[in-house]
């Protein structure tokens, strides 16, 4: 009975604080403060100060601002333009034509930015005008862009994986490894959908591009070389064991700065804009992490997670039933919160349930990131939908309908990941054994 009262008080407090417009990180701290003050005898002040400081100074978070800064640098450079011009000759003869550039471009840029928003903004500002000029339908252009840009969450280095790794206390390096194959699987599903559209619809068949010459393909590969080299340095150094994620992030920042200086796009203003953009994004995420850490501590003192775990355990749910329930839960939560907020808000309760069910936490990290991707394109607050709307000027309903096939493909991705856990677990096991 006490646990039920506590849960009701915490939910009402959280909804009330959010309704007042309080930042999510501060709202989480507020709920934790109320729970500890009303339902425990533990002094709140020193617990709050100690928890916020200790979780803000974790070494695992050191790579976070660096990867964000790397993405900001690339966003403001001309490397992204070379990405489109390099991919176009390689993609345009495929069924579906240059729409494939949305998918492959987002997957490539995701591997060096770690951010869904940066991926969408960078690729979209190049592909949207070009596809419109060539007569590609808006629903395919906008829908595939909104869906494919979520790969910035799944394909490493991923900001949301760093947050999950710190919150759930699992290896960030192993999470990065685990995200590669599921990310490629999801990209392949997107490409397959475009191929089917290009082959079996009248509009798609009418948009076949001319075959590129060998010279055009070679020039495209040359334009892709700087981005490809940066990906190899950052990701390869982690997977080979030569560098930790933080050290690889340093290499990424140095490489991005060097390339942008060589091509002449790194001005004084661009440098400081990128630095301030990284600072603002990092501050937002760190506040979320600190608020989540204190709420987790408060819930631990109240005993609510243990009581909830005992209640779920008493239902004797099979692991797949728990995963199905959590999928629905996170999709519904995604109607109202972004992916990072969903994870930090729920991990205090969800983590003991998942561990108690015997589910691998590395696998669950990839699962929850994939479901968070789905939340990025679910109305009414799908963040990527708003970004595409601001970029194109089309109404939100049209963009949401355009992105719905990509949402369904992500559901297929969740099913495949559940049926074949080795998609996430095989690469970390192989590379860890070698190192």
State mean pLDDT over 44-51.
81
What distance in Å separates the CA atoms of residue 243 and residue 240, rounded to the nearest whole number?
A: 8
- What does the domain layout of the chain look like in residue ranges? 59-434
pLDDT at residue 412 is higher than 90: yes
Q: Residues 17-20: contacts with CB within 8 Å, 24+ apart?
A: none
pLDDT at residue 380 is higher than 70: no
pLDDT digits (tens, 9 = 90+) for 295-347: 777 777 777 666 665 666 667 677 888 888 888 878 777 666 666 777 777 77
pLDDT in the model for residue 2: 66
pLDDT at residue 366 is higher than 90: yes
pLDDT in the model for residue 190: 94
pLDDT digits (tens, 9 = 90+) for 224-259: 788 778 878 887 887 777 887 778 888 888 988 888
Higher pLDDT, 258 or 284: 258
pLDDT at residue 107 is higher than 80: yes
pLDDT in the model for residue 311: 66
pLDDT in the model for residue 160: 84
pLDDT digits (tens, 9 = 90+) for 120-171: 777 777 788 878 888 889 899 999 998 888 887 888 878 788 888 888 888 8
Could you identify the residue written with the tokens 């619809």? 201
DSSP track, 69-99: HHHHHHHTSTHHHHHHHHHHHHHTTSTTTTH
Query: Which run of H or of E encompasses 198?
Result: helix 172-200
- Identify the DSSP state of 209: P
What distance in Å separates the CA atoms of residue 7 and residue 299, rounded to the nearest whole number?
A: 10
pLDDT in the model for residue 3: 64
* Model confidence band, residue 63 (pLDDT cutoffs 50, 70, 90): confident
Closest to 95 measured CA to CA, from 190, 189, 198, 197: 198
pLDDT at residue 116 is higher than 80: no
What distance in Å separates the CA atoms of residue 230 and residue 151, rounded to the nearest whole number?
A: 18
Whether 83 and 105 have beta carbons less than 8 Å apart is answered as: yes
Average pLDDT score over the chain: 80
pLDDT at residue 73 is higher than 60: yes
State mean pLDDT over 175-193.
91
pLDDT in the model for residue 182: 92
Higher pLDDT, 407 or 49: 407
Whether 182 and 413 have beta carbons less than 8 Å apart is answered as: yes
- Which residues does 56 contact at the CB level (< 8 Å), separation at least 6? 286, 289, 290
In the chain, count H helices and then E strands: 22, 0
- The half-sphere exposure of 140 on its side-chain side, counting CA atoms within 13 A, is 24
* Model confidence band, residue 264 (pLDDT cutoffs 50, 70, 90): confident
Sign of the CA dihedral with 195 first, then 374, 164, and 277 last: positive
* Model confidence band, residue 188 (pLDDT cutoffs 50, 70, 90): very high
pLDDT in the model for residue 227: 77
Calculate the alpha carbon distances from 367 to 115, 153, 172, 267, 361 in Å: 18, 11, 15, 40, 9
Burial (0-12, 13-18, 19+ Cβ within 10 Å), 182: buried
What distance in Å separates the CA atoms of residue 379 and residue 385, rounded to the nearest whole number?
A: 8
């Amino acid at each position: 009975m006490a646990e039920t009262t506590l849960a009701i008080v915490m939910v009402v407090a959280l909804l009330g604080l959010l309704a007042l417009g309080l930042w999510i990180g501060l709202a989480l701290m507020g709920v934790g403060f109320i729970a500890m003050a009303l339902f425990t005898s533990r002094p709140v002040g020193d617990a709050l100060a100690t928890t916020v400081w200790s979780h803000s100074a974790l070494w695992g978070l050191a790579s976070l601002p660096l990867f964000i800064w790397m993405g900001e640098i690339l966003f403001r450079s001309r490397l992204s333009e070379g990405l489109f011009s390099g991919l176009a000759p390689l993609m345009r003869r495929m069924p579906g034509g240059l729409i494939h550039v949305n998918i492959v471009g987002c997957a490539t840029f995701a591997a060096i930015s770690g951010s869904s928003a940066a991926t969408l903004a960078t690729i979209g500002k190049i592909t949207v005008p070009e596809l419109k000029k060539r007569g590609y339908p808006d629903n395919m252009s906008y829908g595939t862009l909104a869906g494919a840009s979520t790969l910035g969450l799944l394909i490493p280095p991923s900001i949301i994986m760093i947050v999950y790794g710190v919150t759930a206390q699992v290896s960030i390096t192993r999470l990065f490894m685990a995200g590669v194959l599921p990310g490629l699987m999801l990209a392949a599903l997107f490409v397959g959908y475009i191929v089917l559209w290009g082959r079996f619809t009248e509009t798609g068949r009418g948009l076949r591009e001319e075959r590129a010459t060998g010279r055009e393909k070679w020039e495209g590969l040359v334009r892709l070389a700087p981005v490809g080299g940066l990906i190899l340095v950052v990701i390869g150094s982690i997977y080979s064991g030569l560098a930790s994620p933080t050290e690889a992030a340093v290499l990424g920042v140095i490489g991005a700065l060097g390339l942008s200086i060589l091509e002449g796009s790194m001005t004084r203003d661009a440098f400081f804009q990128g630095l301030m953009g990284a600072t603002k994004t990092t501050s937002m995420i760190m506040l979320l992490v600190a608020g989540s850490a204190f709420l987790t501590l408060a819930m631990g003192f109240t005993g609510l997670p243990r009581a909830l775990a005992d209640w779920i355990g008493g239902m004797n749910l099979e692991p797949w039933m728990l995963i199905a329930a959590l999928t629905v839960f996170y999709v519904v939560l995604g109607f109202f919160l972004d992916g990072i907020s969903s994870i930090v808000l729920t991990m205090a309760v969800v983590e003991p349930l998942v561990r108690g069910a015997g589910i691998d936490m590395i696998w669950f990290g990839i699962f929850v990131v994939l479901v968070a991707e789905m939340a990025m394109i679910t109305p009414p607050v799908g963040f990527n939908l708003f970004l595409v709307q601001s970029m194109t000027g089309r109404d939100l309903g049209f963009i949401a309908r355009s992105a719905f096939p990509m949402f369904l493909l992500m559901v297929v991705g969740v099913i495949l990941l559940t049926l074949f856990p080795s998609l996430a677990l095989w690469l970390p096991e192989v590379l860890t054994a070698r190192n």
